[in-house]
Structure 1
Amino acid sequence: MVVYRFVGAWAARLQCAVLLTAVLLSVFPVVAGAADGVFSVRGIGGGGGIFSPSVSPFDRDFMLVGSDMSGVYYSHDGGENWSLVRSDNIKDVAGSAPPAYFHDRVYWYSRLSPMVSVDKGKAWSNVPWPWKPRRHIVGMTAVTPVRAMPGQPDRTDQPDRTGQPDRTERADWAAVPGGKRYLFVATREDLWRCDIDKDRWDMVLEGDCLPPIVLGDVLMVMSGGRMMRSDDAGDTWHPVNAPIESEGEMQALAGSHDGEHALLLATVKDRGVFRSVDYGAGWQQVAEYAHQVIIQIPGGQTRVAWMMEIDGIRGKRLWKSADGGSRWAEVFRYSGLRQNVTYSWVQTQMRWGYFFTNNGFYASMADPDVALVTTQGDFYMTRDGGDSWKFLINRPMGLLADGKTPRFASVGLEMTTCFQYLVDPWEPERHYVAFTDIGFIRSEDGGRTWSYAAKGSPWPNTFYRVRFDPQVPGKMYAAAANRHDIPNWSQLAGWNKAWNIGGVVVSSDFGTTWAPLKGLPELPCTDVIIHMDALTGSRVLYATVYGAGVFVSRDGGVVWQNITANMDPKNMHALRLWRNPQNGNLFCLVTAKRDVVGGKNVMTPGGLWKSENDGLSWTNLMQGTPVIWPTAFVVDPADEGRIFVAVASVPGNKPHFGGVWRTEDGGRRWAHVFKASDTRWSYDRMMAVALHPDDASLVYLGGAQTGLWISRDRGGTWRNAESFPFASVQGIDFHPADASQMFLTTFGAGAWVGPHLPE
């Protein structure tokens, strides 16, 4: 059997003001993965926004998905394992319409740029676009003649779960040699068609368009508020009937063809879901309106259809029909006696609940029993037509030795921000990672499996810094908060008071449980350091409180004293601390403060402050420099006069002063030794800087857009570590017993381990 099949984006989302107006699919950030093996990812999996899943109709093992932190991930084994695509290949696809699959390539888009991969998602390149100026892409459709693969049945007459003969196609599909293959790209301005074998582009329809629906040899599309039909692969179009009679808003359109019959389903806002079996000539209502923004019909058949409720945090329902849309049943049952969803650690440990994300559903073209669902934190698959749903974000690995704590292995779906990777100095098989949003995780087997570990903290959202007690094994202190992502741009301004809280927490059982220390202002805590007083033998703790300054406790955290002293009272965004163990000098980095006045950003500069008298007074070492937004610093432990400060460029401010600033004389003179404006991004935010513990001439820098940079000559020259796949590095740490191992923590792709001098 040979038919023209729609093998790309199966559902079009639309809006209309007067009759029908296009509903445009949003595009949000995502990132890419490491196939070269120089760096490997570590973590517990999931815990971030997951969007836009899909599976190839030509290879059921090939899948793609995106995250709201810019990452793009591919799987070549049916979702068992995933790899991150390199950020400089493709990113920012979260919430976008599905890819357009062909048997030898796949097309997707990143904001304004169409992209193509010919190696099943590992590498991507830009597709030169014919339109100018650049358009905002809404979605893509692949159109190709296909047939069932040899040896695979087109249909089966075995009874389905209702006892009726199941004539649903279950074969993989392959392209017919010599058949024309078209890629349709819908934009807000027009519809373009590309003959991909001739690389010829034609604009075939003017007006805002949604990706076409393919019904055999018929194309249908919503454009400029009208439903249009083409019988000649898009050369000509004519209007057809739509399921509304006057002003209204069509939110979803999907269709399929089984070789004999066609099926169209459409959602009209506030009215319901409508069905047509005659190419739009007539419509019948088949469901009440419930925000069914996604409708999909697997290809080559007209019996099975799916529809999903997308309504912000209220979008929780998924329906399936087995009779062409006449009757519908909920098939994603999260709780109750008929629950059919297996909970991930995000639910059993953090109890987040769920809601479906934008474009968070995809039905397999080749098998109507296979579908993918993404939520804010989770990723699920069904292989039995929605009877059961299994999570894909990680791999359960049993329990820890206590017999009750679950542990998990990463499958590559790491998409959450983290700040610090730690190896326990007492028991080096214990590893830890400090996170945004999921707090803290721990491993008892050197990073192979992980367990959630923020229990007991009143502020479990974020652990910014964790320190080990110098004398007691298993005792740890953490700077914690319910306000995340400090010191990124959004966190420089005011914040919701309900979440603008935090403090210092302590654990006495290797991070298994935590308890708060009292006496500090209940504001976000961003750093804590500890040392033993040589005279009294007591523990001295220093902490930075975001919005209140620097505090000290000389009795192990019972009583706290504010030692902010003469720091600038207009900016108390205290962020990082370091104490010189040789002389007791204290260093505190204060990041920028942002106020919005009359719709404009008013910046109060941060600085690097030093105290030589245990906090009685401070000197701003960066006074007189143009630096506004410092984010991290490192002091050469052998020479505290040599300091490196990572700096972010302020949006809209020129010239840009982001990069790395270095002083060799304790702050009297500063040099801008790495300029972010000299990278391929004229604007960048440098968020991390570190020195190698065995060789202080090796300087490491982490950028928000350009990844990892390394200097071998104390900042004189720099090289981009291109083997690291992700664009945003937030933390750089080294194994305390083997400094050839480097740990990188990222803004949205988890933690990674690799060599300290990656090629």
Structure 2
Amino acid sequence: MEGRKHGGCVVYGLMFWAVFVIMGMSAPSSFATVNTGVFSPRGIGGGGGMYVISISPYDEGLMFLVTDMGGAYRSEDGGERWELIHYTQGFRFMQFSTPPVFFKDRIYWRSGKSALRVSTDQGRSWPKVDGMPWGKDAILHLTAIPGSPDVLLVGTKGGLWRTDDDCATWKKVLDRQTSETVILGEVLCAMADPDAVACSRDRGQTWTTSPVVVDGRAIKGHPAMGLAGAVSDKGSLMVASLHKFGIIRSTDQGSSWALAHSPYGGENHLVMAPGQTDVVYAAQTGSNVNINLLRSIDGGQSWNPSFRMADFARKYGWKANVEPTWIQDSLKWSYLISPKGFTVNPRKPEEAFLVTQGELYRTRDGGETWHPRMATEVVVGPEKSAHYRSIGLEVTSAWGYHFDPHHPARHYITYTDIGFARSPDSGKSWQWTAQGSPWRNTFYDLVNDPDVPDVLYAAVSARHDIPHHSNLSVTKSGYRGHQGGVVRSTDGGLSWQVPYKPGSSSGLPKQVCTTVTLDPASPPDRRTLYAGVYGEGDDDEAGVYKSVDGGTSWAKISPGPGVAPNLHIYRLRVHPKSGNLYCLITGLRSKNNFFTVPGGVWKSMDGGETWKSISSGVNLVWWTTNFAWDPENEDVMYVSAGSSEGHWMQGGIYKTTDGGDSWAHVLTDEMIQKAARGENYEQTMAVALHPQNSRLVYAGTSRNGLLYSQDGGATWRHYSEFPAASVQSINFDPSDMTRIIVTTFGQGVFEGPYLPQ
């Protein structure tokens, strides 16, 4: 592959890396794009894990953070608005990354485990730096040492590497694994394994090591978890956190140390603003037991909690100083500070940011008070209720975007982890409204009553992420985390109730429910509903259930669709013209990760009394994920599928034009790779037809974004302007069919033009 010179570094375009690797993946080509802003985010904001937040010391307002499901985000205005860095830049599953490091004209950041990327356009594009001498050793930290020349240090598991010519050449300067490096004037310091302090007085070319001596005693067996340091007119200060020991401080560049805080409570992330030696922060990260942000204002000699959420503060008799987010108000989540989830603005030391497993907070008074910053709160309607407008931090999964047929301005999002949100103003602002549902984690499916305003039904569950690989495993019967059911709203989605007695002989079982649909031909006062209960049918009660009284009572259809033990029912739909009922059964992953029992698509022409498989013998059956048919001709159907263990390269889109008698594999994994210039292993999760043009077909992939076909699947193109890698559904606004709303796995919801401009 041809490389291009970039400031002395040999840089390639895209080398996409994913943490969740099931098989070896070939390298994508040098194709890459940036987020052009063609698609805009929608949603309530937050609700997913955010990590590794950082602020540029050079570019006013430039910030970055990452998530565990979506990728990396950037802000140009100090966190007022955020945008997803386009997935082709190589940043996905970044929760274990190091913070980026900054020079005046470029930024370096780790992607994947051991790759190094560089940006010269404020973080919009990130070509990969080639020729890294550490091979597959994991990058543990990066250090930027500005000067003439600029020096970059890369700490890996195998040692410390140095370059002073923009990555053209490298020298290994230390054979030990080290902590992050701090700059104390002309001296560089790091904690080095095992039990040592490493210092350099020549900008990292040579290093000397010495024991860690705390209060006159050499300390061994307590590795450093975090390190910070700075210099001021008072001198230098360095603080380190030692595992199962405590926080220590040094004012002589590591020659001697004093114990500053004990016992160790998970203070894994230490932060100091440059140019001062008074204020030090110590974040207890990655734990739901130790959740303090400690602050010292006397150079680490004494410490007090700075981030005091109400419940946590009440427990210890402290005064709360954190304004709650909508998540705390509505969902009552606990919290933990994410790894590398705290940073201080190097240009404005009184400003700092903290991220949790669902929220972003900011202080502008040095930690005295904290306020949420993952959405903008607005007051909506005559009731003046709090709603939230997106600022781009949409960081969780959305299964569908729904339009109320009776109230065109009322939109709904069915979410993972946060359940359900409702908008009264065409998606401009949102309110969490899953209250009343006993299972709030995931709203998988939603249907409006077409004749009765404000009546909705939803399939909900405590188990999330179906039909993704991690949740295709066997159901745990009786496990609270695998419960679910159907809930009903009679007030337009403001509140929900279970219309039956769960677990009773006339109700649905307390089990994962992934789908609900309605027969529009049934009487409005006696609605016929169908629900899919997800499981294996051995020690559980999986199957298709039917209600003829609007969900008040249910009966299991037997025999139903599927091949035991795979009763992983994921979608039920009634064709709008014929009234026939279709059932999609997704994959079943065995203990050894193989898919041996087929799923597929089943059809009933008599209200579920009898069923026929219309996909037997077709490769799509091993991991079927979604389907769409022509609304005028149900014989024309498209089905999306994933590639699974034992059935490699069988994912993509399948099409039938004769009701399932024959199938064509119209979009293969290889075709996706070629069109998107991306990965060759794929899990295609979504397919949709444009309501006004059934030959316009969309395919949503899990690693290569969005594709479309304008000729009924004969040829496909990549929608390169779409910024997210993993698509969950494609939806169409009835008021403007030139726009699409795309939900994603981990990156929320995006709205944009139905075709590239």
State the TM-score, normalized to the length of structure 2: 0.88
Query: Superposed, which structure 2 residues align to 1:56-455 within 5 Å?
Result: 56-91=56-91, 92-111=93-112, 112-131=114-133, 133-145=135-147, 179-197=148-166, 199-225=168-194, 226-243=196-213, 244-258=218-232, 261-289=235-263, 290-335=265-310, 336=314, 338-403=319-384, 405-455=385-435
Q: How far does the alpha carbon of each residue in 1:403-445 deviate from its partner, in whole angstroms, 9 at most, with x for none?
A: 3x31111111000100111121111111111111111111111
Letter in 2 for 1:236: T
Report what 1:645 is aligned to: 639
Shift of residue 35, structure 1, vs aligned partner = 4.2
Give the match's secondary structure for 2:334. Answer: coil
Give the match's secondary structure for 1:753. Answer: strand
For 1:582 and 1:558, the matched residues in 2 are separated by 27
CA distance change for structure 1 residues 219 and 467 in 2, over 3 Å: closer, same or farther? same
The correspondence for 2:510, drawn from 516, 519, 522, is: 522
Give the match's secondary structure for 1:295. Answer: strand
For 2:597 and 2:647, the matched residues in 1 are separated by 16
Report what 2:548 is aligned to: 554
State the TM-score, normalized to the length of structure 1: 0.88
Report what 2:7 is aligned to: none
For 1:566 and 1:513, the matched residues in 2 are separated by 32
CA distance change for structure 1 residues 198 and 737 in 2, over 3 Å: closer, same or farther? closer
Contact kept, 8 Å, 2:525 with 2:549, in 1: the verdict is: no
For 2:473 and 2:496, the matched residues in 1 are separated by 29
Give the match's secondary structure for 1:594. Answer: coil
Shift of residue 299, structure 1, vs aligned partner = 1.4
For 1:613 and 1:274, the matched residues in 2 are separated by 74
Shift of residue 564, structure 1, vs aligned partner = 4.5
Shift of residue 232, structure 1, vs aligned partner = 0.9
Report what 1:470 is aligned to: 450
Shift of residue 259, structure 1, vs aligned partner = 5.7
Give the match's secondary structure for 1:314. Answer: coil
CA distance change for structure 1 residues 332 and 537 in 2, over 3 Å: closer, same or farther? closer
Contact kept, 8 Å, 2:180 with 2:226, in 1: the verdict is: no
Structure 1 unaligned regions, length at least 5: 1-26, 146-178
Task: Report the more deviating stretch, 231-240 or 202-211.
Answer: 202-211
Letter in 2 for 1:386: G
For 1:743 and 1:367, the matched residues in 2 are separated by 38
Structure 2 unaligned regions, length at least 5: 1-17, 21-31, 501-506, 536-541
Give the match's secondary structure for 1:604. Answer: coil
Task: Report the more deviating stretch, 487-496 or 83-92.
Answer: 487-496
Report what 2:707 is aligned to: 709
Report what 1:667 is aligned to: 660
Contact kept, 8 Å, 2:72 with 2:85, in 1: the verdict is: yes
CA distance change for structure 1 residues 260 and 582 in 2, over 3 Å: closer, same or farther? closer
Give the match's secondary structure for 2:619. Answer: coil
RMSD over equivalenced CA pairs, Å? 2.0
Letter in 2 for 1:297: M
Letter in 2 for 1:485: D
Give the match's secondary structure for 2:481. Answer: coil
Task: Report the more deviating stretch, 537-546 or 422-431.
Answer: 537-546
For 2:425 and 2:524, the matched residues in 1 are separated by 37
Contact kept, 8 Å, 2:530 with 2:546, in 1: the verdict is: yes
CA distance change for structure 1 residues 516 and 217 in 2, over 3 Å: closer, same or farther? same
Contact kept, 8 Å, 2:447 with 2:516, in 1: the verdict is: yes
For 1:489 and 1:563, the matched residues in 2 are separated by 27
Report what 1:513 is aligned to: 495
Q: How far does the alpha carbon of each residue in 1:595-635 deviate from its partner, in whole angstroms, 9 at most, with x for none?
A: 21xx5545322111111222122111111123300000111
Q: How far does the alpha carbon of each residue in 1:233-271 deviate from its partner, in whole angstroms, 9 at most, with x for none?
A: 122111123144333322222222226622111122222
CA distance change for structure 1 residues 144 and 486 in 2, over 3 Å: closer, same or farther? same
Q: Does 1:743 align with 2:741?
A: yes
For 1:595 and 1:687, the matched residues in 2 are separated by 20
For 1:564 and 1:681, the matched residues in 2 are separated by 42
CA distance change for structure 1 residues 393 and 600 in 2, over 3 Å: closer, same or farther? closer
Shift of residue 70, structure 1, vs aligned partner = 2.9
For 1:734 and 1:602, the matched residues in 2 are separated by 33
For 2:167 and 2:640, the matched residues in 1 are separated by 49
Shift of residue 132, structure 1, vs aligned partner = 5.3
Contact kept, 8 Å, 2:86 with 2:724, in 1: the verdict is: yes
Counting aligned pairs with the same residue, the percent is 38
CA distance change for structure 1 residues 517 and 188 in 2, over 3 Å: closer, same or farther? same
Shift of residue 135, structure 1, vs aligned partner = 2.5
Contact kept, 8 Å, 2:176 with 2:192, in 1: the verdict is: yes
For 1:99 and 1:106, the matched residues in 2 are separated by 7
Report what 2:597 is aligned to: 604
For 2:334 and 2:589, the matched residues in 1 are separated by 33
For 2:547 and 2:221, the matched residues in 1 are separated by 67
Shift of residue 129, structure 1, vs aligned partner = 3.6
Shift of residue 277, structure 1, vs aligned partner = 1.0
Letter in 2 for 1:141: T
Give the match's secondary structure for 1:88. Answer: helix
Shift of residue 490, structure 1, vs aligned partner = 1.1
Letter in 1 for 2:603: K
The correspondence for 2:567, drawn from 561, 567, 572, is: 572
For 1:245 and 1:347, the matched residues in 2 are separated by 41
Contact kept, 8 Å, 1:677 with 1:684, in 2: the verdict is: no
Letter in 1 for 2:322: V
Query: Superposed, which structure 2 residues align to 1:725-740 within 5 Å?
Result: 725-740=723-738
For 1:72 and 1:520, the matched residues in 2 are separated by 41
Contact kept, 8 Å, 1:185 with 1:211, in 2: the verdict is: no
Contact kept, 8 Å, 1:648 with 1:657, in 2: the verdict is: yes
Report what 2:577 is aligned to: 582
Contact kept, 8 Å, 1:33 with 1:73, in 2: the verdict is: no
Q: How far does the alpha carbon of each residue in 1:382-412 deviate from its partner, in whole angstroms, 9 at most, with x for none?
A: 1111111111100111243223x31111111
CA distance change for structure 1 residues 408 and 347 in 2, over 3 Å: closer, same or farther? same
CA distance change for structure 1 residues 77 and 536 in 2, over 3 Å: closer, same or farther? closer
Contact kept, 8 Å, 1:532 with 1:538, in 2: the verdict is: no
Q: How far does the alpha carbon of each residue in 1:680-716 deviate from its partner, in whole angstroms, 9 at most, with x for none?
A: 3121100000111011111100000001010111111
Give the match's secondary structure for 1:346. Answer: helix
For 1:671 and 1:737, the matched residues in 2 are separated by 34
Shift of residue 508, structure 1, vs aligned partner = 1.2
Give the number of equivalent residue pairs. 694
Give the match's secondary structure for 1:183. Answer: strand
For 2:302 and 2:247, the matched residues in 1 are separated by 11
